[in-house]
Amino acid sequence: MSLRVKPFLGGFLAVFVLVLAVRSEAFFVDEKKTFAFKAKVQTRTSLRLQDAEGWTYPGNIYVGNLVQWRNLALLELDHDLKELTKSLDILYPLKALKIQSKYHLVGRFMYEGVYDVGPQAFQDIKDRDKENIDSFTHQYDLWEFYVDLSRGPAFLRIGRQNLAWGETDIFRLLDGINPLDNTFGGPFEDLDDRRIPLWMLRGNYNFGDVGPLYSFTLEGFWVPGSWDARVAPFAPLGSVYSAPLPETFFPFVRVVTPDKSLSNSRWGVRLMGLVGTNVNVSIAHYKSFLDAPALRSVVVRDVPVLTDLNDLTLEVSYPDVQVTGASMSFWESRTDIVFRGEVAMFWDEPVFVPEESLGTLYGPTLPLPPLVLDLAAEMLGVDVRDLGLDGLPLNPQSGTIPKKNILRFVIGLDKQIWIRPLNKTSTFFLSMQYFGTWVTDYDGRMRQLAPLYPTLINFPKVMETEHVFTALISTLYRKGTISPQVALAYDVRGAWLIMPAVNFTKGPFRFMLQYSAIQGNFTGFGAFRDRDQISFSLTYLLN
Amino acid sequence: MNPRRCFQVPLVTLFLLVCACPLASADVSPGDIVDKTSWKKAEKLLPESVLNWVKKGDMVLRVGRLAYDPKDYFPPAARASLEPNRGKYDLDPNNLVIDAETGKPPEFIEGIPFPDIEPKDPKAAEKIMYDRMYYTYTQGNIRLPYDAAWVSRNTGYDRDVQCAFLQYPLTGYGPARNESNKPGIERFSILQLLAPFDIAGTNVLLWRFLDQRKDNTFAYIPAIRRVRRMSPANRSDAYIGSDLCVDDAWAFDGKVTDFEWKVLRKQEGLVGFLDPAPQAFEKNESGEWHTTRGIRAVAYGHHKEGWQGAPWVPTNLVWVKRPIYVLSLTPKDPYYNYGVQEIWVDAEVPFMLIYKAINDRAGDYWKTLWMSFSGFMSADDRMRLLMVTSIVVTDDRTDHSTVVDLANPNNLQAVYAVQDRNDYSLGGFQKLCK
């Protein structure tokens, strides 16, 4: 056990014991029930059910290998300040202005053990990239901390928080404000488990009934870039859920995240309300950073001929994107279905066009005879012919980040349905969605960002329109103690995702068993088709 | 031997035998204990399912007498409306409340709409249920924290959830008259799930309309961090897997117009009360009235060492004979998960829905819900009302119950609660969401 693990485990246990000690108390700490304390500890283990294939690195991960041992402790405090406001002088302004206030705090302790106790291949990855791996495998965070202030129709929430807009599940359209942690779980983990809170100022104002609109509300948020310009962390190459990229690229990758400056602020505005008391509508516009980074080749110094690979990097960056969209939902009485819809235009979204993004490799070259190229490959460790070159780039130029306006939309329906032969006491919840994507100014050279094995520069095509269907069905048995569910996704270009799971409840314990599998073509989520796994988690709720 | 004595001896013997026979009398008196040996006493005073529990030894009833009359425990606004509302309202063919004179929906209903119930009125049952709804509305905004426990016979207490129910009526309660109500809302309510951790933060916002429109239901789901529109049509679905369905809240929380109602009979019945005396009620500095920490707690079977009956049964109630209307209700929705149900409601205090015997869709008996009550009185006797102190739903097929505990020193129930109407708007609802 590494030295770094011990203090963590010690701290973890101390917290665990402390919280156990208070478990016998009411979960409200004070008599007036203004101060609530909750906690849970969880361990989750996943075993791979498929051998690594293609460009997945490391390639020596096999069926039965441990790929996740994630341990989590969450401590949550909620404190309504209404009683303190009456007695504490420092809070007098709140009392005088009749402002209701409370705060919410979440401490998160996370340890991912697969790089310490998992297959040797992952331990080797950690040895090679210790700082990077440690940064996301040992985390002690003030995960959420915000203060709520409200008075009448006005509400303000200030602090580290999550904010989700829109009407979608599983995949995100208008729900792109907070970044997702891509260092674990990949497509097999719940969105909320991966959402990263941001330091944000958020508020809304309820205008009430205005014309045909009821509960008409204006909402806005601002994440000052000088405070928080966090983006979705780039899963280090070789980590369990990293994208399948060739090892050849590793030495060249340089991740550039937005710097902390006001120009990198996220912000957004939304109007929402009810039309005719049945139809929820909203329109929104926001600026944020997408989870999927942009890639381009960068020549770090002006040279007439690219002879030194140290002059070339692959820059992973996160340009900001503005999104305009609308959503609606309503319940249709005859069919007893809740219909949802959402449409969003992603303006100037970075896309990958090899000829532009990796422009360095597509310019003029100094042709070399095969013998020389063989020698160069030996010396450089990279055969430029694998990159589509017949020589060395002349007057090499950096690539660019092409951008497109991409329209995404979803139509969803939710229905609770009785299937009495299967369950006499609880309905089945069925949720289905169709996601569509249309690149309005389509370029036939657009590609996905992971090359097709065994080539280095042959990337799957991106179509002008893409279509994905999802479905989720769940129910409850035995007085809510057993909850099975199945989630499905289908990309019409030939990729399937299936995730059956069952949750058991026994007293303060929660057990979860989940099988996750992706089959089919190397497209979209199909890029993770060799990551099938079975997961088991045990959670203890302290209250 | 005297020949007359020859007849007298067997007659006297027979007389003595009859008097000694415990099955002879089907009535109870204060001081009686009704248990598995003496269940016959309560034969006509309990629904059949509850009587069966007594016969089995699951329940023991201690018959007593209240030190107060429940019909003196109407909220002030309800009491004040009894005279002015006489004959003021009626029901239209859709069973919506109308002004008796104009035949149109009234601008505002203050108090209880139907103070006089004539059992032979074909719409008597519907009127009783409206009275019951409006009784709660006359208490203004309410805030009811409670625990709901899953209890099985073999293991006793399994687990529990902590919740809070908030309600904001826009009818029935006088001060609501001055609030704008363009959408035609009958009441707003929020159900908050507070614990355990995995469901904490789930909040369900409901808008109920005065007319036949179905509820608007919005649920904040912490796992997806957003508010989701829900179907209002699945109110017979089990509530988070418990023995109650959504409509079973407070014995009946559905829309009157969604059911066919009938008064079956008037009779007497036994009702469980927390204590012969009313419990204390206090006013806080915000002007809210609430129960106190000195409230007598309900002692359930699994709390009581040596208890031989069902673990979910309250063991320390006093049972009082009350006049009862027995109603039947049949769902109009062909997909509703219940069939015909039988509700016992106090004939003098419509707030008190005492028993609900539930059949499945085939008409076979399935489970029974019953509630206990208490009067609450302020020290100066200026505030009096009745409140529910426990709800028990027993599924006789699975031998399992869900117990909703309301008379708990740790959960202060509040009426005339200070609330912000904005909390029930889409924007204000966000305040409750993580």
**Averaged pLDDT for residues A193-217:** 94
Cis peptide before A454 (omega within 30 of 0): yes
> Looking at chain B, which residue has its C-alpha nearest residue A540?
B197
pLDDT band at residue A391, thresholds of 50, 70 and 90? confident
pLDDT digits (tens, 9 = 90+) for A330-352: 999 999 999 999 999 999 999 99
pLDDT digits (tens, 9 = 90+) for A367-386: 888 888 888 888 777 788 88
Is the Cβ of B207 closer than 8 Å to some Cβ of chain A?
yes
pLDDT digits (tens, 9 = 90+) for A434-473: 999 999 999 999 999 889 988 888 899 999 999 999 999 9
Residue whose token pair is 């917290």: A15
Run of H or E including A5: helix A5-23
Q: Which of A498, A474, A477 is closest to A488 using CA atoms?
A: A498
Q: Which of A72, A154, A142 is closest to A103 using CA atoms?
A: A142
* DSSP string for residues in A410-469: EEEEEEEE--TTT-SSSPEEEEEEEEEEEETT--TT-B-SSPPTT-SS--PBPPSEEEEE
Q: Which of B411, B417, B429, B430 is closest to B190 using CA atoms?
A: B429
Gap between the Cα atoms of B389 and B409, Å rounded: 11
**Of the partner residues B145, B196, B225, the one whose CB lies closest to the CB of residue A162:** B225
pLDDT digits (tens, 9 = 90+) for B374-402: 999 999 998 999 999 999 999 999 999 99
Portion 309-328 of B in contact with A at CB < 8 A: none
Instruction: Please give the pLDDT value at position A4.
Output: 43
Amino acid sitting at position A521: N
> Looking at chain A, which residue has its C-alpha nearest residue B361?
A424
**Averaged pLDDT for residues A137-145:** 93
Q: Which of B416, B344, B424, B357 is closest to B175 using CA atoms?
A: B416
Gap between the Cα atoms of B238 and B244, Å rounded: 6
Closest-CA distance, A153 to chain B, in angstroms, reads 6
Distance, CA of B415 to chain centre: 16
Contact A280 B230 (CB under 8 A): no
* Percent of residues, chain A, with pLDDT higher than 70: 95
* DSSP string for residues in B23-34: TS-----TT-EE
Instruction: Please give the pLDDT value at position A372.
Output: 86
Contacts of range B18-22, beta carbons closer than 8 Å, 24 or more positions apart: none
> Looking at chain A, which residue has its C-alpha nearest residue B183?
A277
Contact B427 A479 (CB under 8 A): no
Contact B420 A152 (CB under 8 A): yes
Is the Cβ of B430 closer than 8 Å to some Cβ of chain A?
yes
Instruction: Please give the pLDDT value at position A250.
Output: 80
Run of H or E including A95: helix A92-96
Q: Which residues of A touch B241 (CB under 8 A)?
A: 426, 476, 478-481, 483
**Of the partner residues A104, A208, A539, the one whose CB lies closest to the CB of residue B434:** A104
**Averaged pLDDT for residues B309-313:** 96
Contact A214 B182 (CB under 8 A): yes
pLDDT band at residue A16, thresholds of 50, 70 and 90? low
Portion 366-425 of B in contact with A at CB < 8 A: 398, 400, 402, 410, 420, 422, 425
**Averaged pLDDT for residues B426-434:** 89
Print the SS3 string covering A112-176.
ECHHHHCCHHHHHHHHHCHHHHHHHHEEEEEEEEEEEEEECCEEEEEEEECCCCCCCCCCCCCCC
Give the residue from B359, B431, B432, B433 with the most A CB atoms within 10 Å of its CB, the best one to mutate: B431
pLDDT for residue B157 is more than 50 = yes
Contact B420 A150 (CB under 8 A): yes
**Averaged pLDDT for residues B346-360:** 96
Contact A192 B224 (CB under 8 A): yes
Collapsing DSSP to helix, strand or coil, B258 comes out as helix
Give the residue from A29, A333, A479, A502 with the most B CB atoms within 10 Å of its CB, the best one to mutate: A479
Query: How high is the mean pLDDT of chain A?
Result: 90
Contact A479 B225 (CB under 8 A): no
Two tokens, residue A312: 């070339």
Gap between the Cα atoms of B48 and B62, Å rounded: 18
pLDDT digits (tens, 9 = 90+) for A254-294: 999 999 999 999 999 999 999 988 999 999 999 999 999 99
Gap between the Cα atoms of B369 and B394, Å rounded: 6
What is the largest distance, in Å, between two alpha-carbon atoms of chain A?
85
Distance, CA of A158 to chain centre: 22
Instruction: Please give the pLDDT value at position B6.
Output: 47
Closest-CA distance, B292 to chain A, in angstroms, reads 11
pLDDT for residue B410 is more than 90 = no
**Of the partner residues A191, A478, A480, the one whose CB lies closest to the CB of residue B224:** A191
Contact A192 B225 (CB under 8 A): yes
Gap between the Cα atoms of B268 and A72, Å rounded: 58
pLDDT digits (tens, 9 = 90+) for B204-217: 999 999 999 999 99
Collapsing DSSP to helix, strand or coil, B210 comes out as coil
Q: Which of A392, A334, A383, A338 is closest to A360 using CA atoms?
A: A392
**Averaged pLDDT for residues A213-230:** 96
Residue whose token pair is 């106090």: B346
Closest-CA distance, A459 to chain B, in angstroms, reads 33
Contact B234 A427 (CB under 8 A): yes
Residue whose token pair is 């340089």: A254
Q: Which residues of B touch A27 (CB under 8 A)?
A: 162, 194-195
Contact A214 B225 (CB under 8 A): no
Non-local (6+) Cβ contacts of B201 within 8 A are B193, B220, B222, B433, B434
**Of the partner residues B182, B214, B222, the one whose CB lies closest to the CB of residue A333:** B214
pLDDT for residue A37 is more than 50 = yes
Q: Which residues of A touch B224 (CB under 8 A)?
A: 164, 169, 191-192
Closest-CA distance, B349 to chain A, in angstroms, reads 32
Cis peptide before A350 (omega within 30 of 0): no
Return the axis-axis angle of helices A120-128 and A130-137, rounded to nearest 10°: 110
pLDDT for residue A190 is more than 50 = yes
Structure-model confidence comparison of residues A86 and B218, the more confident one: B218
Is the Cβ of B199 closer than 8 Å to some Cβ of chain A?
no
Non-local (6+) Cβ contacts of B178 within 8 A are none
pLDDT for residue A22 is more than 90 = no
> Looking at chain A, which residue has its C-alpha nearest residue B241?
A480
> Looking at chain B, which residue has its C-alpha nearest residue A145?
B434
Non-local (6+) Cβ contacts of A502 within 8 A are A482, A483, A484, A485, A512, A513, A514
Portion 231-260 of B in contact with A at CB < 8 A: 231-234, 237-238, 240-243
Contact A277 B207 (CB under 8 A): yes
Give the residue from B194, B204, B213, B229 with the most A CB atoms within 10 Å of its CB, the best one to mutate: B229
Structure-model confidence comparison of residues B26 and A365, the more confident one: A365
Contact B231 A414 (CB under 8 A): yes
Distance, CA of B37 to chain centre: 29
- Asked if B185 and B192 touch (Cβ cutoff 8 Å), the reply is no
Non-local (6+) Cβ contacts of A506 within 8 A are A481
**Of the partner residues B195, B228, B337, the one whose CB lies closest to the CB of residue A38:** B195
Is the Cβ of B297 closer than 8 Å to some Cβ of chain A?
no
pLDDT band at residue A252, thresholds of 50, 70 and 90? confident
Gap between the Cα atoms of B259 and A369, Å rounded: 88
Instruction: Please give the pLDDT value at position A368.
Output: 87
Is the Cβ of B230 closer than 8 Å to some Cβ of chain A?
yes
pLDDT digits (tens, 9 = 90+) for A41-58: 999 999 999 999 999 999
**Averaged pLDDT for residues A183-187:** 79
Two tokens, residue A416: 């609770």
pLDDT for residue B344 is more than 90 = yes
> Looking at chain B, which residue has its C-alpha nearest residue A156?
B431
Closest-CA distance, B159 to chain A, in angstroms, reads 5
pLDDT digits (tens, 9 = 90+) for A409-440: 999 999 999 999 999 999 999 999 999 999 99
Q: Which residues of A touch B158 (CB under 8 A)?
A: 479, 481, 507
Closest-CA distance, A42 to chain B, in angstroms, reads 11
- The answer regarding whether domain B70-432 maps to CATH 3.40.50.300 reads no
Portion 324-353 of B in contact with A at CB < 8 A: 335, 337
Give the residue from A30, A78, A206, A337 with the most B CB atoms within 10 Å of its CB, the best one to mutate: A206
Structure-model confidence comparison of residues B97 and B225, the more confident one: B97
Contact B426 A273 (CB under 8 A): yes
Domain boundaries in chain B?
Answer: 70-432
Q: Which residues of A touch B164 (CB under 8 A)?
A: none
Q: Which residues of A touch B428 (CB under 8 A)?
A: 150, 153, 155, 206
